[in-house]
Structure 1
């Protein structure tokens, strides 16, 4: 008798829209994509369902990179091709708001979520906090998230690295378990497989 898969991978907003934003930077993209692709490969091998979340908002004109008419509501170039168990467009920061995702997860007995995507401190963090408050265990894989430098209200630069560190600080032991790609994949194995791997 096979064990029920209780983990799902959420790939949040890993889409071409961001490349049209003035803050876009390629600097961390190769490492980010490598981490995301490793999660996709590992979850595919283990039979962990992968949920594709893409963001749309703002005016419907093609000049808005987050409008469907822009043609940019598609996976970021370099992201591994995969067959999503569920795919949807969201219109809020949390992937659990107005999407039916919560019902889909509960209907499949999924109790743990692996979070990856763009941006670290925005939709990834917001979804993590929301999911934790709703009762899911969340594995937050910072290396599989991407963000960009920001200006503080005081006008100083807050680097992407500092933003990631801040997100880790506020999430850990409150809303999520911080995980590397390999740790998240190991934690998504059925209990018997975990025991065999540890033996």
Structure 2
């Protein structure tokens, strides 16, 4: 863990960008390259502005997500050390992780959400963060998800369908939906 040099009211959360996903049957995604480029730009801009970068990793009993898998680490293309990192065992990054305590001690009031599974861990974290009183910037282009098929109807939803739905339900209720450039211009 690296100490912050200055207290910042904003923090970037990078959620579940870990090689565990590369071992799941739905990987790779056609959206992977744009996601990587967006997240790299977002992270670089935040670092340049002195915004702390927080990595969150998911650990559970699925073999690629087990603590002893060797896959609970940043993906190889994601450079730099985080300011701090937390492991989670549920969908949101707050429950039983210590993240909220750490953020409050740093004086953070606004969160930038990015990472893997737009509609799952990223959306759930945004909702919980909002309920805890944080202002939330949800950077959809710096999140990644995968097509899903509805078990009841057989209808397949594209990754873009899922992202659009997530933006719809979060916007102006739980988060401000922004792209990378808009987010960085507000730092």
Common fold: TM-score over 0.5 = yes
Distance in 2 (CA, whole Å) between partners of 1:72 and 1:46 is: 30
Aligned to 1:166: 165
- The gaps in structure 1 that reach 5 residues or longer are 189-199
Task: Tell me, in whole angstroms, the C-alpha distance in 2 between the residues paired with 1:48 and 1:156.
Answer: 41
Give the equivalent residue in structure 2 for 1:118: 116
Distance in structure 2 (CA, Å) of the matches to 1:26 and 1:113: 26
Q: Deviations over 1:52-86 (max 9, x none)?
A: 11110016xxxx0001222111212322x112111
Quick one: which of 49, 52, 62 aligns to 2:52? 49
Cross-structure match for 1:12: 15
What are the superposed Cα offsets for residues 156-182 of structure 1, whole Å, 9 maximum, x if unpaired? 111111000000000001000011111
After TM superposition, give the deviation of residue 89 of structure 1 in Å: 1.1
* Matched pairs, number: 181
SS in structure 2 of the partner of residue 65 of structure 1: helix
SS class of match (1:143) = strand
Q: Is the 8 A contact 1:52 1:88 kept in 2?
A: yes
Q: 1:158 and 1:77 mapped to 2: Cα distance?
A: 29
User: What's the TM-score once normalised by structure 2's chain length?
Assistant: 0.93
- Aligned twin of 2:35: 32
1:109 aligns with 2:107: yes
Q: Structure 1 residue runs of 4+, over 6 Å off?
A: none
Question: Are 1:53 and 1:87, in contact at CA under 8 Å, matched by a contact in 2?
Answer: yes
**1:138 alignment partner, SS class:** strand
State the distance in 2 between where 1:173 and 1:88 align.
28
Maintained 8 Å contact 1:65/1:72? yes
SS at match of 1:77: coil
Task: Quote how far apart the aligned CAs of 1:26 are.
Answer: 3.5
Q: CA offsets, 1:123-155, max 9 Å, x none?
A: 000000000011000000000000000011211
Give 1 or 2 for the bigger CA radius of gyration: 1
The whole-number CA distance in structure 2 between the counterparts of 1:89 and 1:18 is 16
2:3 matched residue in structure 1: none
Native 8 Å contact 1:11 1:116 kept in 2: yes
Gap change, CA 1:160 and 1:75, over 3 Å in 2: same
The aligned counterpart of 2:144 is: 146
The answer to whether the 8 Å contact 1:40/1:82 transfers is no
Q: 2: distance between equivalents of 1:35 and 1:42?
A: 11
